[in-house]
Amino acid sequence: MEQRTDRSQEELLEEREAHLVEALEREDAEEIHRLYEHIHPIDLAEAMEEWEEELLERFCSLNDDEKMAELLEAADEKLQVDLTGYLDNSRMLRIFGYMQKDDIVDILGNLRINRRKQLIDLMRAGERRIITELLGYDEETAGGLMTTDYIALNGQLTIGNAIRKIKEIGPKTELIETIFVLNHQKQLVGTADLRDILIGNDADTLDSISDDQVIWVEPETDQEEVSLLVSKYDLNAIPVVNKRRVLLGIITVDDIIDVILEEHTEDMLQMAGVSKEETIDSTVPESVRRRLPWLCVNLITAFLGSFAIKNFEDVIAQVVALSATMTIVTGLSGNSGNQTLSVIIRSLALGELELKGSWKLILKQAAVGLVDGVCMGIGTGIIVSLIYQNFYLGCIIFGAMVCNMMIAGLSGALIPLVLKALNQDPALASSIFLTGVTDVLGFFIFLSLATAFLPFLL
Amino acid sequence: MEQRTDRSQEELLEEREAHLVEALEREDAEEIHRLYEHIHPIDLAEAMEEWEEELLERFCSLNDDEKMAELLEAADEKLQVDLTGYLDNSRMLRIFGYMQKDDIVDILGNLRINRRKQLIDLMRAGERRIITELLGYDEETAGGLMTTDYIALNGQLTIGNAIRKIKEIGPKTELIETIFVLNHQKQLVGTADLRDILIGNDADTLDSISDDQVIWVEPETDQEEVSLLVSKYDLNAIPVVNKRRVLLGIITVDDIIDVILEEHTEDMLQMAGVSKEETIDSTVPESVRRRLPWLCVNLITAFLGSFAIKNFEDVIAQVVALSATMTIVTGLSGNSGNQTLSVIIRSLALGELELKGSWKLILKQAAVGLVDGVCMGIGTGIIVSLIYQNFYLGCIIFGAMVCNMMIAGLSGALIPLVLKALNQDPALASSIFLTGVTDVLGFFIFLSLATAFLPFLL
């Protein structure tokens, strides 16, 4: 009985892990098995990321196949590759016998192509066919996420027979609460809830208690779309069917949670121009390499802003106060636009927004920018008028802020929608593009107004 | 059989919704029930958001209690409140009979206090006690998410008796795949998988097949922490226990997905200084009201930047090129810092990062900023040297960019960690604070360097 949020329980876990390392060092197989029962595979996998090669090798040789299967499922990509290095092909196949098909495919996908080919060739024909097929799907589609370990029964089966089948197949499947109901052509025609089966009349058919309102996807469906359907309809699994509605596999909710976490990380990082592969564990050269491309794009937008200012150098030379005040216009517009940007990107990610008919929305965001611009512009105008003792400078900055914050609202909505229309991730460096637009136009508008009303400023 | 991703299926759905509205208008109860069977409650609830009051009222009077329960569960907050307006207290209680406790609590939480009190007073004593207790928990904690509709059995029960109990209680629960195992003091001692129960020996006890490695939380645990545990350990439900380990309720994975989506939306919006309540459906005045507070903070940081420049007005008057080039330093630093910021905030949200021992990480982010600064600084320095035909100006901008991008890396890591240490959301307007720091220091460093080397620039 463990509670991960309890400090003392965490210490207990660390203690057990330390004991396990000691037991491994003196090769005490019995003690290892005893300790293993009290450590969750996920926690063990996390601890093992820090272990030396020698310890990992010893662990692999002292542990049984079922435990190794649990651990490989829980391990991250790097640890999976490390562990498989200590397991020969025949042992790997025995371990696969304890694993779900989607997990086997994940592990095979991380292996070098030679090793993968060897293992697949050694599989039984039926399994080889399924695994090869699953490996063929793009990792980020429904096909790449699905498993073939589910319960599908013919709708004409009686409930009594169905229960017998479920007891037989159940232990090998990922999900037992939902039974998929097929017709004689193996097409998916409905789902049956295990509750209804358990309390049903033995002589009735499955069809009589099944629900024909099934939400399904095709193997090519993008994982983000799959996750939206699962969260919208509160599903615990979603079936994957081909064009003829033949059931190919199912995707369970735990894999969907991983997709949701992955997609959201992606959105937030990409908005700022960071690759989704970067984490806090990335090394300095790795981080630099991943971030530089977007900083180079940013360099171009920064120079565009600089050129906008350069055109007005003689005006600035005459009224040097412009130099200190112009950055207020661009700074506020940039952040105001980012507010709109984040609302739109979230909405796109939640599937609430379509390009079609979004003009109203874009205009609404421009209106929000306009009103925010009027509010902030009045404040800024008054303060600037007082500091520089120049009423006209206050008016000019007010005008520039109203225009530019409206543009910021417009761009904050347009940039992600345009990226989406170009089939790019709507978050892709959108913040860098946005500040590019608000800087260039902000400087240009403010300094143009100042030039037009120059006599009043001198 | 429906596929939401299929355009023609979407049209079919719209057609059915239109038919339903027609049937409602001519009060054809039979046709309404027929159509209802082919529309998912979630889709119907979405369509109903657009309906007129009269149509909603007619729908409530023509539909049976079970259907109304399904619909209320699927409805958003506003629709729930609208619908309950057309249902009298005795009907509400009948409808509650078809609903899970956590959903009843959600609906009661949205009602006006008088109505809520009336309904609770009308409930049976046992139900009233449970509902009052559930209403007492903060919405964003484990207690606020949990339901009491689960299956918990004594570990001493034989498997044969357990199956009989499960058949009896099962239809009223949210989850059947996992059975919670208690001791005689009603304390949670393990979980049993329905698969193992179904294939188990009728005479064995539940204890003999149950797993004592249970991950649990307390009712006060924050929902974000709950969601991290569920996603880490791939759970389909997590039990909530009190200090004495007595089982109080369970939280199912569909509610966890809602939490994950909510928390991520929050992070992304708050980073830019937008309230989590804002959506694309918010009206213009609503959006303005929610965004203005952070824009006011931004106004202060913008003026700080402006004051930094103002101090150097005579230098700028002499070398007006500084005005056009200083924004390159701050623009790039701001975006570079945002890259670090987003990596750190994601990591905090995924629970990968603790304040303790994060100095190494902060220094690493500063190093990334430094290296990025050297790379971008060289490019900027060369281009600026060529444009302004002044080698020294290029050197000064190089120096300023190296310093300021290092500061940006440092601040991008520090700001969210400091917010977290102050028990604030680490994403809270972090972007606005960050650009405040990078602007003020960027202008100051660049213009100070320019002042120091002024003779070379003239």
- Distance from the Cα of residue B425 to its chain's centroid: 12
Query: What strands, in cross-sheet order, belong to the sheet with A178-182?
Result: A152-154, A178-182, A188-193
Q: Do A199 and B167 touch (CB under 8 A)?
A: yes
Backbone φ/ψ region at A246: left (φ over 0), alpha (ψ -120 to 50), beta: beta
3 state SS of A203? coil
Among A265, A336, A435, beta carbon nearest to B335: A435
Residue B101: the pLDDT is: 87
The residue with tokens 């790997």 is A92
Residues of chain A with Cβ-Cβ distance to B361 below 8 Å are: 280
Contact yes or no for B434/B408 (Cβ under 8 A):
yes
Locate the chain A residue with the closest alpha carbon to B354. Answer: A280
Q: How far is A90 from chain B (nearest CA, A)?
A: 29
Interchain contact A3–B (C-beta under 8 A):
yes
Residues of chain A with Cβ-Cβ distance to B149 below 8 Å are: none
Among B177, B273, B347, beta carbon nearest to A335: B273
- Residue B320 to residue B314: CA distance in whole angstroms: 10
Decide if pLDDT at A394 tops 70. Answer: yes
Q: Do A287 and B368 touch (CB under 8 A)?
A: yes
Interchain contact B100–A (C-beta under 8 A):
no
| C-alpha distance across the termini of chain B, in Å | 78
Tokens matching residue A135: 């490996």
- Residue A354 to residue A347: CA distance in whole angstroms: 9
Among A3, A177, A269, beta carbon nearest to B346: A269
Among A254, A296, A343, beta carbon nearest to B269: A343
Interchain contact B374–A (C-beta under 8 A):
no
Q: Do B274 and A339 touch (CB under 8 A)?
A: yes
Residues of chain A with Cβ-Cβ distance to B269 below 8 Å are: 342-343, 346
- Residue B89 to residue B83: CA distance in whole angstroms: 12
Q: What is the mean pLDDT of chain A?
A: 90
Tokens matching residue A310: 């350069």
Residue among B257, B259, B260, B301 with most chain A CBs within 10 A, to mutate:
B257
Section A174-203 average pLDDT: 91
Residues of chain A with Cβ-Cβ distance to B310 below 8 Å are: 321, 324
Tokens matching residue B30: 């039979």
Among B231, B336, B347, beta carbon nearest to A279: B347
Interchain contact A38–B (C-beta under 8 A):
yes
- Say which residues have a Cβ less than 8 Å from residue B89's Cβ, sequence separation at least 6: B118, B119, B122
- Say which residues have a Cβ less than 8 Å from residue A61's Cβ, sequence separation at least 6: A86
Locate the chain A residue with the closest alpha carbon to B437. Answer: A331
Locate the chain B residue with the closest alpha carbon to A323. Answer: B323
Interchain contact B263–A (C-beta under 8 A):
no
3 state SS of A190? strand
Locate the chain A residue with the closest alpha carbon to B44. Answer: A233
- Say which residues have a Cβ less than 8 Å from residue B228's Cβ, sequence separation at least 6: B350, B351
Contact yes or no for A326/B303 (Cβ under 8 A):
no
Tokens matching residue B261: 């989506």
Interchain contact B185–A (C-beta under 8 A):
no
Q: Do B334 and A269 touch (CB under 8 A)?
A: no
Burial letters B104-114, b for 16+ CB under 10 A, else e: bbbbbeebeee
Q: How far is A121 from chain B (nearest CA, A)?
A: 31
In angstroms, the Cα distances linking B451 to B327, B334, B442 are 17, 23, 14
Among A2, A257, A280, beta carbon nearest to B353: A280
| C-alpha distance across the termini of chain A, in Å | 78
- Say which residues have a Cβ less than 8 Å from residue A421's Cβ, sequence separation at least 6: A355
Q: Helix axis angle, A41-48 relative to A7-25, nearest 10°? A: 60
Tokens matching residue A85: 């290095």
- What's the pLDDT tens digit per position in A302-358? 999 999 999 999 999 999 999 999 999 999 999 999 999 999 988 888 877 776 778
Q: Do A258 and B231 touch (CB under 8 A)?
A: yes
Decide if pLDDT at A5 tops 70. Answer: no
Residues of chain A with Cβ-Cβ distance to B298 below 8 Å are: 331-332, 335-336
Tokens matching residue A166: 């479920």
Locate the chain B residue with the closest alpha carbon to A292. Answer: B372
3 state SS of A391? helix
**The residue type at A251:** I
Interchain contact B179–A (C-beta under 8 A):
no
Contact yes or no for B216/B189 (Cβ under 8 A):
no
Interchain contact B435–A (C-beta under 8 A):
yes
Q: Do B342 and A195 touch (CB under 8 A)?
A: no
In angstroms, the Cα distances linking A252 to A148, A335, B235, B236 are 11, 40, 11, 10
Residue B403: the pLDDT is: 97
The residue with tokens 């009224």 is A319
Residue A432: the pLDDT is: 92
Q: How far is B277 from chain A (nearest CA, A)?
A: 10
Locate the chain A residue with the closest alpha carbon to B326. Answer: A306
pTM of the model: 0.81
Decide if pLDDT at A374 tops 80. Answer: yes
Residue among A320, A333, A458 with most chain B CBs within 10 A, to mutate:
A320
Q: Helix axis angle, A77-84 relative to A65-74, nearest 10°? A: 150
Low-confidence ranges of chain B (pLDDT < 70): 1-9, 355
Interchain contact A245–B (C-beta under 8 A):
yes
Residue among B323, B355, B430, B432 with most chain A CBs within 10 A, to mutate:
B323
Tokens matching residue B109: 């939480």
Following DSSP, what letter does each residue of B323-342 receive, concatenated? HHHHHHHHHHHHHHHHHHHH
Q: Do B40 and A215 touch (CB under 8 A)?
A: yes
Section A276-288 average pLDDT: 86
- Residue A402 to residue A408: CA distance in whole angstroms: 10
Residues of chain B with Cβ-Cβ distance to A175 below 8 Å are: 177
Residue among A6, A44, A257, A352 with most chain B CBs within 10 A, to mutate:
A257
Q: How many CB pairs under 8 A join A and B?
A: 351
**The residue type at A21:** V
Q: Do A313 and B323 touch (CB under 8 A)?
A: yes
In chain B, residues 47-66 whose CB comes closer than 8 Å to chain A: none
Contact yes or no for A178/B194 (Cβ under 8 A):
no
Residue B173: the pLDDT is: 84
- Residue A412 to residue A250: CA distance in whole angstroms: 38
Decide if pLDDT at A177 tops 60. Answer: yes
Among A325, A338, A353, beta carbon nearest to B431: A338
Interchain contact A10–B (C-beta under 8 A):
no
Contact yes or no for A300/A371 (Cβ under 8 A):
no
User: Is residue A8 very low, low, confident or very high in pLDDT (cuts 50, 70, 90)?
Assistant: low
Q: How far is A332 from chain B (nearest CA, A)?
A: 7
Query: What strands, in cross-sheet order, belong to the sheet with B152-154?
Result: B152-154, B178-182, B188-193
Interchain contact A359–B (C-beta under 8 A):
no
- Say which residues have a Cβ less than 8 Å from residue B260's Cβ, sequence separation at least 6: A257, A260, A261, A264, B227, B231
